[in-house]
Structure 1
């Protein structure tokens, strides 16, 4: 069996180049995501801003069936 050193070097060069380009592409993708991603919605507010959290409204135990259905469709029960 003849082992060609030139073929193995070509394969190693191909794999090395592939890995380098993969790392560049992944880094470029991460950079694009960081550039175009919206601001984190749960970050600490800056300055005199106040973060307001709205809790889910209470389930209407009493009321008409229409009110209960309306609440279910609005808030996803």
Structure 2
């Protein structure tokens, strides 16, 4: 069996080049991931911002309890 040094060096050079490109591609995708990922909605507000929410007690007298379809529509409308 004949082992060629040139072919071996060419293969090693290919592997090094391939690993370098994979490393570069990974960091480019990581950069885009940081840019595309959504902002944390539940972080503590800063500045003049105030975080508010409303807890609804549906057991009140005279109030009609919303149906599951209305609650689902409200969920999709707010997008949360």
How many equivalent residue pairs?
68
Runs of 4+ in 1 over 4 A off after TM superposition: 57-60
Give the alignment's TM-score, normalised by structure 2: 0.62
What is the root-mean-square deviation in Å for CA atoms of aligned residues?
2.5
Report 1 or 2 for greater relative contact order, CA contacts < 8 Å, sequence distance ≥ 6. Answer: 1
SS in 2 for 1:52: coil
Give the alignment's TM-score, normalised by structure 1: 0.64
Runs of 5+ unmatched residues, structure 2: 73-80
Q: 1:2 to 1:59 in 2, by over 3 A?
A: farther
In 2, the alpha carbon distance for the partners of 1:8 and 1:53 equals 66
Q: 1:51 to 1:16 in 2, by over 3 A?
A: same
